[in-house]
Homo-oligomer: A and B are copies of this chain.
Amino acid sequence: MTSHAAALAGEVPFKNFPPWVVSKLRPQAIDLIRKVHNWVETECIPAEPIVKAQLAKGKSRWVTPPLIHELRKKAKAAGLFNLFLPGHFKESPGLTNLEYSCCAEIMGRVYWAAQTMNCHAPETGNMELLAKFANEEQKQKWLKPLMEGEASSAYSMTEPDRASSDATNIACRITYDNSKNEYVINGKKLYGNVLWNQEVKFHILMGLSDPGNSNPWRRHTMIIVPRDTPGHRQVRNLSIMGYDHAPEGHGEYIYENARVPAENVIWGDGRAFDIAQGRLGPGRIHHCMRLIGQAERAYELALLRSIDERKKPRGKLIGEFDSNIERIAEMRMQIDAMRLIIMNAADTMDLRGNKAGRYVIAQSKILVPETLAKVIDECMQMYGGQGLTQHTVLPELWTYARFVRIADGPDAAHRHQVGRDQLKAARKEKLVSKYQAYRDRNRELRKLWKIEGLEQEFEWEYVPLGGSKL
């Protein structure tokens, strides 16, 4: 049986993918997915405790563990690097979004597996951004090392005293100093990867450059801030639910008259929103794709505990309790439902473009992390006390899923957008008129069937007579 036929027949790792997905995978993608699977199974899962030990026993928690460096080299050599890259990059393996979603799910089984393949945030977003909007010199200087896997970077947008989910509120000030052809930055930022890790070479910062501009979408600029820029100070690392997320972390920063050469501005003054727009797209759901794999991992642990002969409360295996049998079914179905959502989102972008993907991206970002955080929480509960400790990866898996509910704006903001879009569409598609037309047709049918006398008792449901102006 060929590799392709085996995939169609439901071999691991294709077994869990919906048939419509498997049937759309091209042979070369099938091979690549299989390689990613083997990579994660052989090099990553068994190495999890090694990475933990290296992090804990190294000189600092802010040094990338040697094992990860080693794996990055090997993955690059094996052609498993930068898989996320869209086809227009010459380094790209040319995967469709749907094909990449299969890879990303598998990577999700281990927290740092994507990093070994240079497919991790925020690098993926930064690489796309620089590739699209940086000039040639910038690309050479900043993009190339990222793609080669020789440097790390950060994206710096959120601020502590602002509702940053509405980015027009961003207030970190960028002023041009004509005398030195430099930009001067003053303000505070949250969540850029920590500079304590020497591999982080620069931050891409979004700041307020033209507060007086009448167009709120032209007031902000993106600029590259190299590490060690004087005036750029890290206050602390921000833990997420108690995890420091070393060795990358999430820094809190203060800029006090930090000076950056003018050549570091990306695409020009006031283009931050245009750039941010371009940064959107498939990259926004990579997190969610990986969450599927995380949830599968958590689910595997729940199954493992269910058939563990050593654990027999009241004389039965965990998995012999009807209540747990139902819980397992519920988890299985919820994970599969979320996979359908994320794979449909990827496929929609493949078929109709990123812009048409706006709704499916939002749907993924809202439903996937919330649902899967619940699934993982249930796995922890079935696991008992050890489900909350470092005996399993469950608490880390949960924390990441919980984090994604907020990472790119809280889900309420996305829900709000979807809801408003729906209401706009209802007006645009003239929903009221449609129901009024039903009523008109109903009037005809009443005559035809001679039930005019019954009008009031069987009146049409309450369709407004007038128009609507929402």
Q: Which residues of A contact B (CB under 8 A)?
A: 18-20, 23-24, 42, 45-50, 52-54, 56-57, 66-67, 158, 160-166, 169, 190-191, 235-236, 238-243, 250, 300-301, 303-304, 306-314, 317-330, 332-333, 336-337, 340-341, 344, 347-348, 351-352, 363, 366-367, 381-382, 384-393, 395-396, 398-399, 402-403, 405-407, 410-420, 422-423, 426-427, 431-432, 435, 438-439, 441-442, 444-446, 449, 451, 454, 456-464, 466-470
Partner of A190, one of B385, B407, B445: B385
A426 and B303: CB pair below 8 A? yes
The CA of A426 and the CA of B325, in the complex, are separated in Å by 13
B423 and A392: CB pair below 8 A? no
The CA of A413 and the CA of B313, in the complex, are separated in Å by 9
B49 and A458: CB pair below 8 A? yes
A318 proximity list for chain B (CB < 8 A) = 163
Partner of A446, one of B50, B324, B327, B351: B50
A238 proximity list for chain B (CB < 8 A) = 389-391
The CA of A80 and the CA of B411, in the complex, are separated in Å by 43
A433 CB to nearest chain B CB (Å) = 11
B468 and A385: CB pair below 8 A? no
B449 and A241: CB pair below 8 A? no
A42 and B441: CB pair below 8 A? yes
Given A311-B163, A386-B190, A328 and B419 contact (CB-CB distance below 8 Å): yes
The CA of A431 and the CA of B367, in the complex, are separated in Å by 29
A275 CB to nearest chain B CB (Å) = 21
Partner of A422, one of B250, B303, B411: B303
A431 proximity list for chain B (CB < 8 A) = 300, 303-304, 307
A113 CB to nearest chain B CB (Å) = 14
B381 and A411: CB pair below 8 A? yes
Extra 18 A-B pairs, beta carbons < 8 Å, given A326-B415, A391-B461:
A42-B441, A50-B451, A56-B458, A160-B386, A163-B384, A238-B391, A239-B242, A241-B241, A242-B242, A303-B431, A307-B470, A309-B466, A325-B419, A325-B423, A329-B366, A329-B419, A337-B363, A340-B340
A326 and B158: CB pair below 8 A? no
Q: Which residue of B lies closest to A42 (CB)?
A: B441
A345 CB to nearest chain B CB (Å) = 10
Choose among A53, A161, A329 the residue with the greatest number of B CB atoms under 10 Å from its CB: A329
- Smallest CB-CB A-B distances: 10 pairs: A242-B242, A325-B419, A46-B441, A329-B418, A329-B419, A163-B313, A307-B468, A323-B323, A238-B389, A340-B340
A427 and B381: CB pair below 8 A? no
A377 CB to nearest chain B CB (Å) = 8
The CA of A381 and the CA of B407, in the complex, are separated in Å by 11
The CA of A56 and the CA of B431, in the complex, are separated in Å by 30
Q: Which residue of B lies closest to A65 (CB)?
A: B449
A19 CB to nearest chain B CB (Å) = 4
B388 and A240: CB pair below 8 A? yes
The CA of A236 and the CA of B56, in the complex, are separated in Å by 13
A-B contact pairs, 8 of them (CB 8 A): A20-B344, A49-B446, A54-B451, A165-B384, A307-B470, A308-B464, A319-B423, A391-B462
The CA of A323 and the CA of B415, in the complex, are separated in Å by 10
Q: Which residue of B lies closest to A334 (CB)?
A: B367
The CA of A406 and the CA of B45, in the complex, are separated in Å by 27
The CA of A438 and the CA of B301, in the complex, are separated in Å by 13
Q: Which residue of B lies closest to A41 (CB)?
A: B438
Partner of A388, one of B333, B390, B402: B402
Given A352-B19, A381-B411, A388-B240, A451 and B310 contact (CB-CB distance below 8 Å): no
A416 and B20: CB pair below 8 A? no
Partner of A461, one of B165, B301, B367, B441: B301
B162 and A337: CB pair below 8 A? no
A457 proximity list for chain B (CB < 8 A) = 53, 56, 235-236
B303 and A242: CB pair below 8 A? no
Given A348-B18, A386-B160, A449-B67, A381 and B412 contact (CB-CB distance below 8 Å): yes
Choose among A301, A318, A391, A398 the residue with the greatest number of B CB atoms under 10 Å from its CB: A391
